[in-house]
Amino acid sequence: MQRVVVLGSTGSIGVNTLDVLSHMDVEVVALSCNRNVELLRKQVEQFKPEYVCIGENADREYLKDLPVKVLIGSDGLVELCNLENVDVVVNGLVGSAGLLPSYTALKNKKTLALANKESLVIAGNILTKLSKKVKKEIVPVDSEHSAIYQCLEGRKKEDIERIILTASGGPFFGKDSFEGITVKDALAHPNWNMGKKITIDSATMMNKGFEIIEAYWLFDFGGDKISVVIHPESIIHSAVEFIDGSIIAQLADHDMRIPIAYALSKPRRIKLSNRILLDELSKLTFKKANFKKFPTLAYAYKAVENIDRNLGLVLNVADECAVEYFLEGKIDFVDIFDILRRSMEIFENNQSSDIFAIMDEIERLKREIVELINKDYVRV
């Protein structure tokens, strides 16, 4: 029986993961959340983990009558990943907070089911080397990377022409101007129900940019072998083109339980209820990505082309800061693009093999980028 830790259990990835686990013969050892302790309490009552981790000590009160050990904050997340007799850690955390748990899980020789793409964007060199050293896999949970992972299974690298990441285009792909976009507008994704941060990243297409960098580390293909295609229906989740011109794609409903289930059960598959009926699909459309309108894609390719400068770290920190300010109503939607561009021009961070040096660099960059945003972008 697999023993599983779910980080970010009250978020979109976590909720879907627990739904999948409820259909599997597994033991849920630990759960974590930031502040949604009411939902966490319900999850504890259902899955009966030994441990939970919450963001604030003040919220411990909500769980005091439950037979579970309560840990707090980032140290608590690391402790969950240090637990013995755990087979899989599902990292559904948001942002750079997921980096140290990813590293700790691999260091302790646990399979890492990774939805926290920021881990690889920030420290892909460290995590991929560690994965090979301890002989434990990083299994992608993102629907796009899961699709590529499945399409590449059993294939020889020399037979691959390119990997193709599909993107819905978000809510604004057909929009002529980004002026006047509100937070409510940006959170209205046409296909997926996700957390606020990733939904804004989808609207700017920075999320797809991060997936380009993630694909570089996961599959060891350079930027010239990674393409992005807009596919509004989100039925083809990604594809692989071979040197003979054939393309193998993975099709499914836009249901995150499908890639999660595969990450947790491969090579077996779990029976799920969602289906797509090919004879009822009216159309599958594809369009070129607009790099001028969505320069976030160009930023990502620049990061891949200059991988030794670790611009992925700069891009990720700048995006976290900019999105937070936008969600708080302090800057405009269009400012996000400019903040990312300027951050990549101003700041630089060389690749490091020390995870704790990376963590220190994240904090330094946050301070400097916040200072830049407050000085030049915050509306008075």
**Are 154 and 283 within one domain?**
yes
Q: Which of 72-76, 192-196, 287-291 has the lowest mean pLDDT?
A: 192-196
**Are 187 and 198 within one domain?**
yes
**Are 224 and 371 within one domain?**
yes
CATH number at residue 67: 3.40.50.720
Full residue range of the structural domain in which residue 35 is found: 2-141
Q: Which of 6-20, 116-130, 190-204, 350-364 has the lowest mean pLDDT?
A: 190-204
Q: Which of 90-99, 185-194, 229-238, 301-310 has the lowest mean pLDDT?
A: 185-194
Which uninterrupted H or E stretch holds 53?
strand 51-54
How many domains does one find in the chain? 2
**Are 152 and 286 within one domain?**
yes
**Are 228 and 243 within one domain?**
yes
Of residues 109 and 180, more confidence is placed in 109
Q: How confident is the model at residue 40 (pLDDT cuts 50, 70, 90)?
A: very high
Whether 117 has a pLDDT exceeding 90, the answer reads: yes
- Identify the pLDDT of residue 11: 94
- Identify the pLDDT of residue 191: 67
**Are 58 and 193 within one domain?**
no
Q: Report DSSP letters for 13-49, one per residue.
A: HHHHHHHHHTTSSEEEEEEE-SS-HHHHHHHHHHH--
**Are 264 and 341 within one domain?**
yes
**Are 122 and 161 within one domain?**
no
**Are 197 and 126 within one domain?**
no
Which uninterrupted H or E stretch holds 263?
helix 257-265
Q: Taken in order 33, 147, 296, 311, is the CA torsion positive or negative?
A: positive
- Identify the pLDDT of residue 175: 83
> For all residues of the chain together, what is the average pLDDT?
94
Q: Name 377's Cβ contacts closer than 8 Å, sequence gap at least 6.
A: 325, 330, 331, 335, 338, 339
CATH number at residue 354: 1.10.1740.10
How does pLDDT run across 340-359, given as a tens digit for each residue? Answer: 999 999 987 767 789 999 99
State the Cα–Cα distance between residues 364 and 275, nearest whole angstrom: 47
**Are 38 and 114 within one domain?**
yes
**Are 275 and 160 within one domain?**
yes
- Identify the pLDDT of residue 273: 83
Question: Which of 119, 141, 163 is a domain's end point?
Answer: 141
Per-residue pLDDT, averaged over 243-256, amounts to: 95
